[in-house]
Amino acid sequence: MASISSDQAQGKNTTRQDAAGTVWIIQAISGLLLIFLLGLHMIAHHYIVDGGLRNFEEVIDYISNPIIFVLEVLFLIVVAPHAMLGMQGIVMDLGPSEGTTRIINWVFRILTILIIAYGIWLAVALQSL
Residue 97 lies in a domain: yes
Residue 7 lies in a domain: no
Residue 110 lies in a domain: yes
- Residue 76 and residue 113: Cα distance in Å, rounded? 11
Low-confidence ranges of the chain (pLDDT < 70): 1-17
Residue 122 lies in a domain: yes
pLDDT, residue 1, reads 47
Residue 12 lies in a domain: no
CATH for 59: 1.20.1300
Residue 44 lies in a domain: yes
- Percent of the residues in the chain that have a pLDDT greater than 90, as a whole number: 50
pLDDT, residue 17, reads 66
Residue 3 lies in a domain: no
Q: What is this structure's pTM?
A: 0.76
Range of the domain at 119: 18-127
pLDDT, residue 51, reads 73
Structural domains in the chain (count): 1
